[in-house]
Amino acid sequence: MIPQKVDYKRAGSVAEALSLLSANPDAKILAGGHSLIPAMKLRLNSPSLLIDIARISELRFIHEQDGGVKIGAASTHHDIVSNATIRELYPAMAEAGELIGDTQVRNVGTIGGSIAHADPSADWPAVLLALGATINVEGPAGAHDIPASEFFTGFFSTALEEGEIVTAITLPAPSAAHQSAYKKFMQPASRFAIVGCAVAIVADGGTITDAKVAFTGVSDAAFLDEAVAAALIGQPAIPETIEAAANAAAEGDIHINEDHFASQAYRKHLAKVYAKRALVEACGL
């Protein structure tokens, strides 16, 4: 399979990438390309120009910032899972990253590309929602920040405006009693999530004082499940709390995906099972 004809330009800086993008409205930003190029080979996507940002050094970094971590958009999945600070502060990031695709995909695919593509079954969106991440964006109007909770707006859709690119992801400083986990039931061939659940909790003296629970694969975009979080906050971190909270998952007015791997009813069931598993791990039970 061969993509349609396309021009290729490698941008040397974010400024150059933005200027190429504004001059070429049909262009697509290329990072690792591990979602975009397969889509182009299937002729699902035929941009006139690819603007390669993978080698822009100002986009490939991981550094500590204000007790948290800032990750450049062109950091590969492998860069992230092999970073000792991320592994220590955000176990859910390491767990999710290690479950993305396979070794070869993790060596090339990037976190910025993954979230800008916003596949409804991708792993990073759920984790970024649970951790309360901020997406750093640059565009013709300058730089601004978008909370992860406002970034994933629908099926392959994000809050990015025309001409904007993701430059970094900022993870906030975790509090002392913070724990996180990510569990997924994967499609056996593609390894995308049929259901993925990321949780981040703060348990102070045995009581859960803060909780965020996010799903991917379940609906047309990753989302925070407020009902599960509400059933956790203020409760003791014990199996009965988790059981009740997990049972509240994927209920209410939520569109549930359905395909030949998992019916709506089965996905809903899996959401509860994987919420429970992630919460059990995060609570150390």
Partner 1 sequence: MSTITVTVNGKSYTKEVEGRTLLVHFLRDTLGLTGTHVGCDTSSCGACTIHLDGRAVKSCSMLAAQADGSILTTIEGLAPGGELHPLQVAFNDEHGLQCGFCTPGMIMTAADLLSQNPNPTEREIREGLEGNICRCTGYHNIVRAIQLAAERTAGVPA
* Site residues (vs partner 1, CB under 8 A): 1-8, 10, 30, 33-34, 37-38, 40-41, 50, 52, 54-55, 78, 101-105, 107-108, 189-191
Q: Which is nearer to partner 1, 30 or 202 (CB)?
A: 30
Nearest residue to 275 (alpha-carbon basis) of 234, 225, 235: 225
CA distance 72 to 127: 16
Q: Which is nearer to partner 1, 105 or 280 (CB)?
A: 105
Q: 100 and 191 in contact (C-beta within 8 Å)?
A: yes
Min CB(275)–partner 1 separation in Å: 25
CA distance 161 to 120: 19
Q: Which residue is it, tokens 């509240």? A: 248
Q: 231 and 214 in contact (C-beta within 8 Å)?
A: no
Q: Which is nearer to partner 1, 99 or 248 (CB)?
A: 99
Min CB(167)–partner 1 separation in Å: 20
Q: Which is nearer to partner 1, 104 or 263 (CB)?
A: 104
Min CB(32)–partner 1 separation in Å: 8
DSSP assignments along 11-77, one per residue: -SSHHHHHHHHHH-TT-EEESS-TTHHHHHHTTS---SEEEE-TT-GGGS-EEEETTEEEEETT-BH
Min CB(42)–partner 1 separation in Å: 8
CA distance 272 to 265: 11
CA distance 182 to 165: 27
Min CB(138)–partner 1 separation in Å: 22
Q: Which is nearer to partner 1, 105 or 230 (CB)?
A: 105
